[in-house]
Amino acid sequence: MPTATQEICSGVTLSNFIVEAKVVKWSLNNDGFGTITVSSIWLDWPTSNQRLDVVQFGGVSIWDTTDSEPPTPIGGVGGTLESGGSKSIAFIFKRAASSSGYHIKVTLANGCQVESMK
């Protein structure tokens, strides 16, 4: 009997949405069976935040090109997350961030996508 394989997207989630001053964060969680690689992140955000300045993955800056017009696509991320791990995705804006109006899509190297709307 063949061994069942688990879809790589299974167990990958976004949680812990937090807004603190100019920073908006989610946690990317990997409760799946293997390491995942993030290939891109897409974020739609409120124009009242004025400008997106920096994006961090796991505390490391992965994008520092300012964008004044949402949505913002961020390609070439390349960050990895081991099975059982969690890393923050942080967006740093010019102004105090609105408490709602966000839509994030995280695309993995295998093409699967996780998303959250807050």
Inform me whether the pLDDT recorded for 2 exceeds 80.
no
Tell me the per-residue pLDDT of 40-99, one tens digit each, with 9 for 90 and over: 999 999 999 999 999 999 999 999 999 999 999 999 898 999 999 999 999 999 999 999
Alpha-carbon gap, residue 65 to 118, rounded angstroms: 24
Report the alpha-carbon distance of residue 90 to residue 62 in Å, rounded: 10
Q: What is the mean pLDDT of residues 87-112?
A: 97
C-alpha torsion sign, points 49, 100, 62, 111: negative
d(CA 12, CA 21): 27
User: What domains does the chain contain, in order, with CATH numbers?
Assistant: 12-117 (2.60.40)
Q: What is the C-alpha separation between 49 and 84, in angstroms, rounded?
A: 33
Asked if pLDDT for residue 24 goes beyond 70, the answer is yes
pTM for this prediction: 0.91
pLDDT at 4: 46
pLDDT-based confidence at residue 7 (cuts at 50, 70, 90): low
Residue 90 near residue 41 (C-beta atoms within 8 A): no
The structure tokens listed for 10 are 């299974």
Picking from 79, 80, 88, 71, the residue whose alpha carbon sits closest to that of residue 18 is 88
- Report the alpha-carbon distance of residue 91 to residue 80 in Å, rounded: 18
Is residue 5 predicted with pLDDT exceeding 90?
no
